Amino acid sequence: SSVPRSRPPVQPPADPAGVVLHVGDQKGGTQSLLRAANLLGGLPYRIEWTTFSAGPPLIEAARSGAIDIGQTGNTPVIFAAAAKARVQLVAASQGNVVSDAILVPHDSPIHTVADLRGKKVAFGKGTSAHGQLLYTLRAAGLTMDDIDPSYLQPSDAYAAFKQGQVDAWATWDPYTAQAQLESGARVIATGDGTANGYSFEVASNEALADPRKQAAVADYLRRVDAAMRYSDTHRDQRAVVWSRETKLALPVTQLAAQRGPDLPVPMDDRLVASEQDLADAFSDAGVIPGRVRFADIVDRRFEGRAAPL
Amino acid sequence: MSTTLPGAPARASAPSSPTPPDPSSGPRRRLPTWQRWISPVAIVVVWQLASTTGLLAEDELASPWRVLTAAWDVTLTGELPQGLAVSLARVVVGFLLGAVVGLVLGVWSGLSRWGGLLIDPPVQMLRTLPHLALVPLFILWFGVQETPKVLLVALGVLFPIYLNVHAGVRGVDPKLLEMARVSGFDRREVIRHVVVPGALPSALTGLRLSLGIAWLSIVVAETVSSDSGLGYMITDAREFLRTDVIVVGLVVYALLGLGTDALVRRIERRALRWRPVLAGADA
Amino acid sequence: MSTTLPGAPARASAPSSPTPPDPSSGPRRRLPTWQRWISPVAIVVVWQLASTTGLLAEDELASPWRVLTAAWDVTLTGELPQGLAVSLARVVVGFLLGAVVGLVLGVWSGLSRWGGLLIDPPVQMLRTLPHLALVPLFILWFGVQETPKVLLVALGVLFPIYLNVHAGVRGVDPKLLEMARVSGFDRREVIRHVVVPGALPSALTGLRLSLGIAWLSIVVAETVSSDSGLGYMITDAREFLRTDVIVVGLVVYALLGLGTDALVRRIERRALRWRPVLAGADA
Amino acid sequence: MSAPVTAPARVAGLVRDFGGRRVLEGLDLTVGPGEFVALLGRSGSGKSTLLRVLAGLDDTAAEGVEGTVEVPGSVAVAFQEPRLLPWRSVRDNVLLGLHRDDAADAADRALAEVGLTERADAWPLTLSGGEAQRASLARALVREPDLLLLDEPFGALDALTRIAMHDLVLDLWGRHRPGILLVTHDVDEALALADRVLVLDEGRIVADHAPGPRPRHDVADLRSTVLAELGVIDDATA
Amino acid sequence: MSAPVTAPARVAGLVRDFGGRRVLEGLDLTVGPGEFVALLGRSGSGKSTLLRVLAGLDDTAAEGVEGTVEVPGSVAVAFQEPRLLPWRSVRDNVLLGLHRDDAADAADRALAEVGLTERADAWPLTLSGGEAQRASLARALVREPDLLLLDEPFGALDALTRIAMHDLVLDLWGRHRPGILLVTHDVDEALALADRVLVLDEGRIVADHAPGPRPRHDVADLRSTVLAELGVIDDATA
Ligand SMILES: Nc1ncnc2c1ncn2[C@@H]1O[C@H](COP(=O)(O)OP(=O)(O)OP(=O)(O)O)[C@@H](O)[C@H]1O
Ligand SMILES: Nc1ncnc2c1ncn2[C@@H]1O[C@H](COP(=O)(O)OP(=O)(O)OP(=O)(O)O)[C@@H](O)[C@H]1O
Ligand SMILES: [Mg+2]
Ligand SMILES: [Mg+2]
């Protein structure tokens, strides 16, 4: 593989003109964000979008150089670090943590996190909900061993949740909003005070090794920054676009959008520590083998260059 | 002692043009029958009845009517027709690739002892590899564009074709192979006139299976970075819990299954028309 | 004019016990050959060489040696042996269910005209339904315990068995069916002695395919709320980007494929021992 | 077995049409109770076609078949090709479908009679042409039917074996008195064995001879007549 | 075609063993250039087995086969069963594998000669037994080989058709002078057609007769001799 193993050095400034930037995206993700903010015009390079269903396959693609950059949540990047994937985290953003919720059916006898003891809880293994559940349980003095985990991806989990096959479901928006609105699900805990709500831009080492692509990445990051801020101030518009792209009912996306979008944050020590803590929690839970040094894949060099447009 | 057969006309009158055989096997040959529609229609009717009477809750399975509406929606948005077109292109390319490779390998390993000894074991090993597990490796090796998708389809198609062709070739009547040998058939003629027609019924079963599997594979293949295609439409609907759209996808697949079947039946009817319809066949 | 045949001994000496046939078809019958190991071993050797020479980067495909180490790890943790055991149980139950249903439907629709007309179309429709899309519906209908998993396996197994049995039954020599009819065979005897053996080669191909598909289905099935099983091990490894464990899974699958194949070959050798080994067969 | 008072086979006005090709055109034939009928006819004249209809394999309900066919009793057929189940031993081929208490014994006896004891456990595909034909004959004879249809059952046999098989058929006939319809190309055979010798031509029975009481020593004239009906000028008389 | 100076078939010490069952035990046989040899023998005596070896279908390299087999020229075979490709028309069955410029014409001519012009476009499975046999014969004859192996090619034919086929074989033989090995059960046929009449028994050639120059009118004695060798007491002389 031509993908460099270690972090490529900072390249001399170059002209990104003519470069094709392969960007990985998820449905209703960055592309729609940029389009809504009208920031896709006048690019000196060309963007080729590739859509992924989730974070892990996006990282799979990034580490083989199949894509240059793409956004993913706070948990898949930990596995990327554990797998020593040839990628760098070049930017971070933080969203509301209210939507990272643990849900129960409206008529459930469960009211507090402590009530979850011995109960069947659905969540996707290795998703951000997994991490959030780890935290929430820990805060309530419980561990994973105290509950009966049912590993289900969101779609399957929702089906099982509606049929009463599981007692609780740890998930995120727009699923939280959908479950709340469609089946009256009750929130017994949110990520407030526990989850960190980070998302990361994951860049392939291969892209960073190319001066012109590096320049394109820098420019792209600037635009994403701006788009997030725009979407924060245009939440209704965001909900409409979101609904159109995911075919979720408008009220669902409106509820999700009102909780606030992701906003850029610096990758400071607090962020690294928080992620390291999450990684350790996964290590402790035996989900990943050994210890992970999260800082190894954090590449802060683009933050200075990602000045606002 | 010199006698002429009544049935043997003068030599000159023997037609020498190689016209296709049109044997008088009679008008008993079966046509596509409307009766084949009885059970599909019955299923839809029962389904609709169960839905209207509430026996089948709407959130367990959307009613045919609601599925029809959803189908209309995704048709209007262009999602379904475009998805079909995109997937079709991938399926066709992948299918051709896999079918050709499967056919060649199957004939080869079926015909020659060493071919069988060398080709068969790795194929038997590879054929159980799960697509879902191959996806990450395929991304690593072939990126995220069309190549891995087409290859996944090809891989899915290859094995049923291979296995059925191989078995068909092995099952070719050895008496006919012997006849071909002593009648001066060259290798090409043996394959074309003895092996291929002899293996055809089995190969057609392989074709049936593999056409089905081609469409199944595309669902997995389109989880690799795509934003269009029938498979994508289904995974996407699944992601966002649109049960009705999932069912639309399933119905489209069922129709594709029926279409495939009709196609293969056609080929079958043409290719096997030498089989006389005997009374015993319908015991 | 009354003559006795030299070959016909006195009546009394005719053995009347129905001993199994042991025909003198000669010692040419092929035994399991070591040659079948040539290509699998060659593949592993080339793979290891490509890895050691660096031609194949370690993170594109782990070397056989590293895969072995990873396999040892997951064996020590119990993940692999337990996973295999759990999956095996699911596969066996699902396989039996699917195979029996497929067999019965295949024989039925192959033998009777109405059976074919009524059974065949819905089966042709259902067989193209993608497992991945069925998962949410199966959860709705059958929950998240063992039932949906076993049913997904059964569904995967059903169709290759059905299609191959159906085709095999349809391909049974009608002359033999006629013979059975005029020789007083009852329906059970016709099925047992004419239809089943006649359809067997094709059915065995179906068996091969379906055993493979059973293992493929378990990967999808075990995405439904499971925390053990071979399929789970693979999806889990994928989730955590553990390429080496994925490859361990793939290798286990390949071995399962070889094992399955060896099993079916055994059955085949026994069941088809009436086929004389003729010279023409190895052209 | 029904009492042999009704004719085991009666056919009237039988027409068999293969998509425009008329093979049988209003054929009439009765095989009386216990009667041994030989059927001669040119290759392709429709002998096997007639036997198929009598065996109930071509239904008069089916397209292309017309006429009256009455076969009230049980039937056994030795087809023109042996039609052995390749996956069952020779013995099983004789045995299967035989629902009698002494089926196994009867099968072994029949195999001994056709000289196949030694090959009883062989797979049919390893038999020689004549051996297969004898196995098929044994299968038909052991069934002791009301109507026995034999389609060139001795065609692949050498002179000696053929004589032994003649004896076998005559023996069975003497014991059970089935109606027998024997298709053969050997005029001598027909004249030696049968009560009546029929010639099928152009879709109809065109000649019906009774060779007279047995043992028959002088049938030379009749032989010439039949050969002439088959289109051959007999050297011996010519 | 090779010049007919070397024997088209020579076999010495041929042993054929089917897993312990010895069918041929040191058989010697030479078919001279342009020689017409008839082979008689009881059912199961190994005639077809011998033909298979001569046709190169049972390699002497294979297990169970021993001895010297020399067949230098081209061979054509009419097997005991017709072995027609069921998925090709009758014409194609004669035609395929025939690599000659006038192959199509030759095939049609051959079909006309065996009386199958009318059925040339039919599927083989719709042929009558005798028609299929004639198609198979036409396929062998049209190849004009150096060695022609005919395994009971007239067994399913009526007297008239049989005579016509005799003429056909003699005609081809006269024109191209192949070596011919004809397996038959009909002693008269063997005596009428062949230069030499052989009897195969217990795995060896036990008798070798030359009926003398043609046309042959009085072969009655030889006929009785051969029949006796086959185990039959001839009625005519007895
Ligand atoms: N593959 C085989 N395995 C075992 N025995 C065999 C095999 N082929 C032939 N035989 C036996 O060898 C003997 C000779 O067979 P062959 O076919 O040569 O007889 P044949 O002289 O042609 O007889 P027929 O006149 O009946 O055709 C027979 O007893 C037959 O059963
Ligand atoms: N299924 C069919 N379709 C078309 N033609 C057929 C079919 N079956 C038989 N025939 C034709 O009908 C005619 C009579 O066939 P049949 O088998 O009855 O002849 P046969 O008298 O038994 O001849 P043989 O002595 O050669 O066996 C033949 O010309 C044959 O080609
Ligand atoms: Mg006939
Ligand atoms: Mg023979």
Instruction: Please say whether the beta carbons of E199 and E229 come within 8 A.
Output: yes
Buried b (16+ CB within 10 A) or exposed e, C238-254: bbbbbbbbbbbbbbbbb
**ipTM exceeding 0.85?**
yes
Please give the Cα distance from A233 to A5 (Å, whole number).
40
pLDDT at E236: 53
Sign of torsion over alpha carbons B70, B73, B77, B80: positive
What residue owns the CA closest to ligand 1's atom 1? D126
Q: pLDDT tens digits, residue range B50-99?
A: 888 888 777 778 888 888 888 898 888 888 898 899 889 999 999 999 99
Q: What is the dihedral of CA C125, C128, C133, C139, to 10 degrees?
A: 60
8 Å CB contact of E18 and C25: yes
Q: pLDDT tens digits, residue range B242-251?
A: 778 888 888 8
pLDDT at C277: 60
What residue owns the CA closest to ligand 1's atom 13? E44
Q: How many residues does chain D have?
A: 238
Instruction: Please say whether the beta carbons of E45 and E22 come within 8 A.
Output: no
pLDDT at B29: 43
pLDDT average, residue stretch E154-169: 91
Residues 6+ apart with CB under 8 A from B144: A24, A50, A61, A66, A67, B224, B225
Please give the Cα distance from E118 to E120 (Å, whole number).
6
In sequence order, the β-bridge partners of residue E180 are: E36, E148
Chains linked to E by 3 or more Cβ pairs within 8 Å: B, C, D
Helix runs in D142-217, H state only: 159-176, 187-193
Q: pLDDT tens digits, residue range B137-194?
A: 888 788 778 888 899 999 999 999 999 999 999 889 999 999 999 999 999 999 999 9
Chains linked to B by 3 or more Cβ pairs within 8 Å: A, C, D, E
D224 lines ligand 2 (CB under 6 A): no
Question: What mean pLDDT, rounded, does chain C reach?
Answer: 80
Distance B146 CA to ligand 1 centre (A): 59
- Low pLDDT (below 50) residues in chain D: 1-4, 237-238
Q: What is the dihedral of CA B172, B175, B180, B182, to 10 degrees?
A: 150
Q: Which of B240-249, E40-49, E53-62 is the most confident on average? A: E40-49
Distance D131 CA to ligand 1 centre (A): 8
CATH class, range B63-282: mainly alpha
Please give the Cα distance from C144 to C1 (Å, whole number).
82
Distance C8 CA to ligand 1 centre (A): 16
Residue D37: which region, alpha, beta or left (left: phi > 0; alpha: psi -120 to 50)? beta
Higher pLDDT: E217 or B149? It is B149
The encoded tokens of residue C267 equal 């059955």
Higher pLDDT: A37 or E199? It is E199
3-state secondary structure of E16: strand
pLDDT at E31: 94
Record the pTM.
0.87
8 Å CB contact of D44 and B7: yes
Instruction: Please say whether the beta carbons of D19 and B24 come within 8 A.
Output: yes
Residues 6+ apart with CB under 8 A from D180: D31, D35, D36, D37, D147, D148, D150, D169, D173, D194
Instruction: Please say whether the beta carbons of B194 and B185 come within 8 A.
Output: yes
CA B78-B79-B85 angle, to 5 degrees, is 90
Chain E residues touching B17 at Cβ < 8 A: 104
Question: What are the pocket residues of ligand 1 if the criterion is a CB atom closer than 6 Å to any ligand atom?
Answer: C 24-25, 276; D 119, 126-131, 156; E 18, 21, 23, 41, 43-49, 80
**What single DSSP character describes residue A298?**
B
CA E200-E201-E207 angle, to 5 degrees, is 55
3-state secondary structure of D165: helix
CA B206-B207-B210 angle, to 5 degrees, is 80
Residues 6+ apart with CB under 8 A from B22: E121
Q: Lowest-pLDDT range, D219-228, E6-15, E135-144?
A: D219-228
Please give the Cα distance from C256 to B128 (Å, whole number).
7
8 Å CB contact of E159 and D80: no
**Within 10 Å of residue C77's Cβ, how many Cβ atoms?**
12
Model confidence band, residue A295 (pLDDT cutoffs 50, 70, 90): confident
What residue owns the CA closest to ligand 1's atom 7? D126
Indicate if the pLDDT at residue C278 is higher than 50.
no
Q: Which of A85, A122, A151 sits opposite C226 (nearest CB)?
A: A151
pLDDT average, residue stretch B37-55: 86
Chains A and C touch each other (3 or more Cβ pairs < 8 A): yes
**What single DSSP character describes residue A54?**
S
Cα–Cα nearest to E158, from D166, D236, D47, D237: D47
What residue owns the CA closest to ligand 1's atom 18? E46
The encoded tokens of residue B128 equal 């159980």
Q: pLDDT tens digits, residue range C60-111?
A: 778 888 888 888 988 888 888 998 999 999 999 999 999 999 999 999 999 8
**Of all residues in chain A, what percent carry a pLDDT higher than 90?**
3
Sign of torsion over alpha carbons C207, C212, C215, C220: negative
Considering every ligand atom shown, identify the ligand nearest to the alpha carbon of residue C24 and give its number. Answer: 1
Buried b (16+ CB within 10 A) or exposed e, E155-174: bbbbbbbbbbbbebbbebbe
Q: What is the CA radius of gyration of chain B?
A: 25
Q: Which of C174, C254, C281 sits opposite B126 (nearest CB)?
A: C254
CA C167-C173-C179 angle, to 5 degrees, is 135
In sequence order, the β-bridge partners of residue D147 are: D75, D179
What is the chain B residue with the closest CA to D61? B279
pLDDT at D233: 76
Higher pLDDT: E165 or C2? It is E165
Q: Is the peptide bond before D86 cis (omega within 30 degrees of 0)?
A: no
Instruction: Please say whether the beta carbons of C252 and C84 come within 8 A.
Output: yes
The encoded tokens of residue E144 equal 């004009």
Q: pLDDT tens digits, residue range D109-140?
A: 999 999 999 999 999 999 999 999 999 999 99
Please give the Cα distance from D143 to C181 (Å, whole number).
13
Classify residue A53 as exposed, middle or buried by CB count within 10 Å of its CB (0-12, 13-18, 19+): buried
The structural domains of chain C, with segments of one domain joined by +, span 63-282
The structure tokens 């992948």 sit at B94
Instruction: Please say whether the beta carbons of C184 and D97 come within 8 A.
Output: yes
Instruction: Kindly write down the DSSP assignment for every residue of chain C, as one continuous string.
Output: -----TT---GGGS--S-PPP-----TTSPPPPGGGGHHHHHHHHHHHHHHHTTSS-TTTS--HHHHHHHHHHHHHTSHHHHHHHHHHHHHHHHHHHHHHHHHHHHHHHHH-HHHHHHHHHHHHHHTT--HHHHHHHHHHHH-SSHHHHHHHHHHHHHHHHHHHHHHHHHTS-HHHHHHHHHTT--HHHIIIIIIHHHHHHHHHHHHHHHHHHHHHHHHHHTTSS-S-SHHHHHHHHHHTT-HHHHHHHHHHHHHHHHHHHHHHHHHHHHHTTTS---GGGG-
